[in-house]
Structure 1
Amino acid sequence: MGEYHSHQGKGYVCMDRNAKALHSSFTDLNGALFCSVEGRCGTLKCPPYVEGAELVCVVCSNTT
């Protein structure tokens, strides 16, 4: 996920499907508004990516 396209980007983060909100404040602290990230051909190689499809997170590990 990332911040809305017209906002100043704060980067991308992987969001757990079962993420829980932290209800510690009702104040607008101008934090990031999380939005799904879609792939764009040209920026990404299509195929294997699909224009307009949501991108999902992966975790890579070295098992050797």
Structure 2
Amino acid sequence: MPRYDFRCRSCGATFELRRTMAQANDPAVCPEGHTDTTKLLSTVAVTGGAASSGAQAAPSGGGCCGGGCCG
């Protein structure tokens, strides 16, 4: 089940709730009981294991396209 982060506008508490995607935009109550909350945008970090599957990992580096090929 997805986790969603919220912040309470009344007390400033940040908290997380697990709920279905259908409930993602439903109102949330903070742990202190306040109802004036807002859902925060979350970032997801994915680390791969491409090299362990026998595939060659793409080179990393600077530049606008990750490989420095843009001049």
Whichever structure has more strand as a proportion of its residues is 2
TM-score between the two structures when normalised by the length of structure 2: 0.27
Whichever structure has more helix as a proportion of its residues is 2
TM-score between the two structures when normalised by the length of structure 1: 0.29
More relative contact order, 1 or 2 (CA 8 Å, 6+ apart): 1
Who wins on radius of gyration, i.e. which is larger?
A: 2
